[in-house]
Structure 1
Amino acid sequence: MVGWLCAALGVAFGSAIIPLINVELFILGLVASDPDIPWLALGIVVAAGQLAGKLLYYLAARGSIHLPKFLHDRLHRQRPPTPRRERWRARTKRIRSWLDALRERCQRHPAWMTGTYGLSAITGIPPYMATTVLAGLVHMPMSVFLGVGFAGRAIRFCALAASPALFSEWLRL
């Protein structure tokens, strides 16, 4: 059992870093194949792994973690203007202004950002990755980020881990 919990921690951390890894599918498969794993322990371990991985995005958005020099140079180098770049800049101008307005609104209303982040941690709507980065951009206090994020993720993953057992009991009735 401890081995599966360690594996779940690793998969959760990996899924937080690489969005193509689906931790929800892993949890359902694990609980379906080995129903003896306690759903509460599994949910808490996966929530801790997810939050540890998302903490890197939060710190990077906050400016506490700096990109390696080769990535930083590549992202911020000056490129000569081309018609294609200018078209792209014109198309994304509206999105950039919307994101700037959203960021400013989140800084003015920290409770709104906390509520949105908590809802995202539980439901995944809006996307948890986006709210994690936005929380870093608006300098949400780390204690709020960790507390709300862990509580929301724990609720989500505990409910998910308990769901196969719950449905199997209903089918027996």
Structure 2
Amino acid sequence: MLFWSVLGASIGSALLPLINIEAILAVAVSQAPAATWGLVLAATAGQMIGKILWYWGGMNADRAPWVHKHLQKPKARASLDRWHARAEGRPWFTAGLLFVSASTGIPPYAVTAVLAGMLRVPFWIFMVTGLLGRGLRFCAVVAGTTSLIGLL
């Protein structure tokens, strides 16, 4: 039951960044230490399910009238073109940026997920870097939680 709760909370957190999945995961692990790796898996999978929706939204963002209107502005178009120039033909740079964002949250992963979709980053690169980055992030949360519990 705890697995499904963490999975659902993680999907919600991916869609609505005000929900703190790290705090939820820390509490869940403290309540069920034997289920640690299952909970990490649930948090990672849930986050990626939610981030796929952000990625897909980025791929289709130009269909939204307000985005289309915003991209007509020279400054916004120039910014998107700069990101496109940085990413195009540089898969390692793109993968590195996505991995850093997924593992640290800097820049915010929801933003980079949308940008990845807008820039048409291959889905498999988005998924691999996201799964590895989010998994590493949640392993760090669990390690910190278990260390803290050990001190108490």
With normalisation by structure 1, the TM-score equals 0.75
Superposed displacement of residue 58, structure 1? 0.6
Equivalent position of 1:40 in the other structure: 37
**Secondary structure of 1:38's partner?**
helix
Give % identity: 32
Gaps of 5+ in 1: 79-87
Q: Does 1:144 align with 2:121?
A: no
Superposed displacement of residue 61, structure 1? 1.2
The Cα RMSD (Å) is 2.7
**Secondary structure of 1:140's partner?**
coil
Equivalent position of 1:53 in the other structure: 50
Gaps of 5+ in 2: none
In 2, Cα distance between equivalents of 1:66 and 1:131: 16
Equivalent position of 1:107 in the other structure: 88
Equivalent position of 1:25 in the other structure: 23
In 2, Cα distance between equivalents of 1:111 and 1:150: 16
Equivalent position of 2:5 in the other structure: 7
Q: 4+ residue runs of structure 1 moved beyond 6 angstroms?
A: none
Superposed displacement of residue 96, structure 1? 4.7
Q: 1:43-99 CA distances to partner (integer Å, 9 max, x unpaired)?
A: 111000000011011112123x997xxxx45x3798xxxxxxxxx99xx85455233
With normalisation by structure 2, the TM-score equals 0.85
CA contact (8 A) 1:119 1:152 kept: yes
Equivalent position of 1:131 in the other structure: 112
